[in-house]
Structures are given as structure tokens and as C-alpha cells.
């Protein structure tokens, strides 16, 4: 997208935090000439994965989500390590958080999930016929690993019952592509 004179522009940046997640504050000049301070979180590459078993069950995690201040359903996922590809990140996170190994990955989405203040790209992947391993998730991170039928997951997504827009998006996108029934 081309920048025009009428678009807001960053005139100063101050680093607020260097530890994860890095945060900066930008001073932005708006088209009217007014100035506004905006926070930006720098997450880089992240990945999440919608994993389906051969029994047509979706593998979800139940994790404490600080923004909600409670435990909620989530897709396995996280931030890529240095020089780690998005698909390798998705595979690693699925294994670490659920103990399941991914089959072939199909990418459904690559974009920004919080455009107001997040700098980075979220990659959403789909895999079918994932298989369990002996690995167990860290109980301080993952409260439980749950299997939900595709039918129930679709009903929850269509009803807006999940608190995660990313989880809802992944289920609806996979369904729209015919991947949940095939």
C-alpha cells in the first residue's frame, strides 16, 4: 500500500521494554496535524495450529489467558524462536502444548491478528491425522488438553462461543475449505 500525505506518520519512537514482549511507544502525527502516542508490541512471527485427529476430533488447549483473567480454550501456538520458520513453530508448539505430532501442514492464514498495536505476522495452520506421543505439556502453561468433536467445535465457532477470535477463525476457515469433513 502506498503512503500518502493524508496518512498518519510516526515521528518519534521510544523503546519502553526490551524483554519479551518488546514494547515501544510511537508518537504519531495524524492527518489533522494532531499528535497521538501509540503503543506497539513487537512479536515477530507466531503460529497456531488447528489439529484434527483421525477420529475427527479437534485438539484444543485450556490455558490461563491473562487478558481474560481466566482459563479459556485456545489453539496450540506461540512465537517463533530465532530463525525458526512459521511451520516449524506450529509443529513444535503442537507437540509441546498437547503431546500430539502434526501430519502435513496446510497454511490457512498469514496476517496480523491485532492490527491496532501488534507488529508481527500470525500464521494459522491446519493438520489432519495428528497422532499422540508420550510427551506431556508443562502444567504451568497448559491446564488441560481437550478433544472436541468437529461438530461441536463448528457449533461453538458459529455461535461465537469461543472467546478467541483466532480459534473461531481457524475453525470457520477450515470448514469453508472443506477440510473438516474430508
Q: Are 171 and 50 in contact (CB under 8 A)?
A: yes
Q: Which residue, among 60, 50, 61, 148, has the nearest Cα to 106 in the 3D structure?
A: 50
Does residue 84 have an active-site annotation? no
Cα 146 from Cα 76, distance rounded (Å) = 11
Contact 105, 50 (CB under 8 A): no
Q: CA angle 101-104-107, nearest 5°?
A: 110
With contact defined as beta carbons under 8 Å apart, do 91 and 98 qualify?
Answer: no
Annotated catalytic residue within 7, 129, 141, 146:
141
Q: Which amino acids are annotated catalytic?
A: 141
Amino acid at each position: 500500500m502506498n503512503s500518502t500525505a493524508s496518512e498518519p506518520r510516526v515521528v518519534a519512537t521510544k523503546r519502553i521494554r526490551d524483554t519479551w514482549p518488546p514494547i515501544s511507544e510511537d508518537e504519531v502525527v495524524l492527518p489533522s496535524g494532531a499528535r497521538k502516542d501509540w503503543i506497539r508490541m513487537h512479536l515477530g512471527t507466531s503460529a497456531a495450529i488447528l489439529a484434527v485427529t483421525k477420529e475427527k476430533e479437534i485438539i484444543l488447549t485450556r490455558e490461563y489467558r491473562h487478558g481474560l483473567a481466566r482459563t479459556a480454550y485456545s489453539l496450540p501456538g506461540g512465537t517463533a524462536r530465532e530463525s525458526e520458520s512459521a511451520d516449524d513453530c506450529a509443529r513444535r508448539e503442537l507437540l509441546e502444548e498437547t503431546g500430539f505430532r502434526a501430519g502435513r501442514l496446510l497454511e490457512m492464514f498469514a496476517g496480523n491478528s491485532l492490527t491496532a498495536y501488534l507488529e508481527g505476522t500470525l500464521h494459522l495452520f491446519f493438520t489432519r491425522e495428528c497422532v499422540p506421543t508420550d510427551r506431556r505439556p508443562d502444567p504451568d502453561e497448559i491446564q488441560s488438553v481437550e478433544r472436541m468433536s468437529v461438530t461441536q467445535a463448528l457449533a461453538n465457532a458459529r455461535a461465537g462461543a469461543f472467546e478467541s477470535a483466532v480459534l473461531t477463525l481457524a475453525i470457520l476457515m477450515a470448514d469453508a475449505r472443506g477440510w473438516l469433513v474430508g
